[in-house]
């Protein structure tokens, strides 16, 4: 990990200035690298005028929820846990290319209501400047509703945030990337809570075997496993493969495959990006 240069420090200073200008904020919190860093900065600068809100939902991996709650306590942040309601939205459940938009739209509407009730000036979320390179319709929902993305506004990349998080003593600085469980399901396949639970259980099993950066992509009765390049050799060991296949069959997968390309973010968006769609 490289040292923090003057350009990163300048972007960090810009973020701090943005935070001071908002006076009071509601942080859309998930427990990931970005939202944890954002919450830390908000608490350091705004203290009691920062409120973390975590949405509990079947789309949030159970281990992420536990980590998020522990981090809120560690940071001493004011917090609130709400029930996510995206599963009641037919536009989200049908899982077309606008899925993320409807999920975020539901969430941000709820957060705005809370901010208004709590007397907080601004709802903020943790997208960074790298997020513009992937297909992220949730950003459109944020813009439409006036939700601000201070990390993006300050020009901070994911690498910048990891470096700064380490300097601030945040244990999330090297946390593997995470995303909601619906991102494991191909567009056009309806999102169902039992399927989300199956994916969560499958990924949790793999983490229990020592795989840290992992995705289980759901394709009906087929599970496609993605792991980081440095873990691929272990995944290919015959005894472990058999153990994984047996457990996945218990979970309802008839076939278990290993993706030769390994883990990469946004793999379910590949066809969209190749088509040049927005």
CATH number at 231 reads 3.30.70
Mean pLDDT, rounded, for 22-43: 97
149 lies in a domain?
A: yes
Q: Say if residue 52 is in the same domain as residue 154.
A: yes
Total of domains in the chain: 2
Q: Say if residue 165 is in the same domain as residue 46.
A: yes
Instruction: Give me the CATH number covering residue 119.
Output: 3.40.50.620
Q: Say if residue 148 is in the same domain as residue 34.
A: yes
Q: Say if residue 194 is in the same domain as residue 122.
A: no
36-93 pLDDT, tens digit each? 999 999 999 999 999 999 999 999 999 999 999 999 999 999 999 999 989 999 999 9
- CA distances in angstroms from 113 to 18, 67, 90, 107, listed in the order given: 22, 26, 22, 10
What range does the domain containing 12 cover? 6-174
- pLDDT score, position 179: 87
Q: Say if residue 148 is in the same domain as residue 13.
A: yes
Task: Give the residue from 69, 76, 32 showing the smallest Cα distance to 53.
Answer: 69
- pLDDT score, position 268: 59
Q: Say if residue 251 is in the same domain as residue 133.
A: no
99-141 pLDDT, tens digit each? 999 999 999 999 999 999 999 999 999 999 998 777 788 889 9
Answer whether 0.85 is exceeded by the pTM: yes
Looking at 159, 174, 189, the residue that finishes a domain is 174
Q: Say if residue 151 is in the same domain as residue 263.
A: no
277 lies in a domain?
A: no
Q: Say if residue 240 is in the same domain as residue 169.
A: no
Say how far apart CA 119 and CA 122 lie, in whole Å. Answer: 9
Say if residues 184 and 61 touch (Cβ distance below 8 Å).
no
Say how far apart CA 212 and CA 39 lie, in whole Å. Answer: 24
55 lies in a domain?
A: yes
1 lies in a domain?
A: no
- pLDDT score, position 132: 79
Average pLDDT of the chain to the nearest whole number: 92
Strand partners of residue 224: 217, 257
Looking at 134, 152, 174, the residue that finishes a domain is 174
Q: Say if residue 88 is in the same domain as residue 156.
A: yes
Looking at 147, 174, 201, the residue that finishes a domain is 174
Q: Say if residue 187 is in the same domain as residue 165.
A: no
- pLDDT score, position 1: 43
46 lies in a domain?
A: yes
59 lies in a domain?
A: yes
278 lies in a domain?
A: no
Q: Say if residue 64 is in the same domain as residue 159.
A: yes
Q: Say if residue 218 is in the same domain as residue 131.
A: no
276 lies in a domain?
A: no
């Amino acid at each position: 990990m490289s040292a923090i240069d003057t350009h990163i420090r300048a972007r960090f200073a810009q973020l701090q200035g943005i935070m001071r200008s908002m006076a009071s904020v509601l942080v859309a919190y998930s427990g990931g690298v970005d939202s944890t860093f954002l919450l830390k900065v908000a608490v350091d600068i705004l203290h009691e005028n920062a409120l973390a809100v975590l949405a509990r939902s079947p789309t949030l991996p159970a281990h992420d929820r536990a980590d998020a709650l522990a981090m809120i306590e560690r940071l001493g942040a004011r917090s609130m846990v709400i029930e996510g309601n995206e599963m009641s939205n037919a536009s989200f459940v049908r899982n077309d290319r606008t899925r993320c938009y409807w999920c975020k739209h539901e969430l941000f509407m709820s957060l705005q209501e809370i901010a208004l009730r709590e007397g907080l000036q601004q709802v903020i979320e943790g997208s960074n400047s790298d997020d513009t390179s992937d297909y992220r319709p949730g950003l459109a929902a944020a813009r439409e509703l006036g939700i601000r993305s201070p990390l993006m506004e300050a020009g901070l990349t994911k690498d910048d945030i990891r470096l700064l998080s380490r300097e601030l003593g945040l244990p999330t600085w090297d946390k593997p990337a995470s995303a909601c469980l619906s991102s494991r399901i191909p567009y056009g396949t309806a999102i169902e809570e039992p399927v989300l639970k199956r994916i969560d259980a499958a990924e949790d099993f793999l983490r229990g075997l020592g795989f840290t950066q992992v995705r289980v992509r759901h394709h009906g009765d087929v599970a496609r496993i993605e792991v980081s390049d440095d873990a691929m050799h272990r995944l290919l060991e015959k005894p472990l493969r058999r153990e994984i296949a047996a457990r996945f069959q218990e979970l309802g997968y008839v076939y278990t495959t290993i993706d030769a390309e390994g883990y990469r973010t946004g793999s379910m968006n590949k066809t969209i990006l190749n088509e040049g769609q927005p």
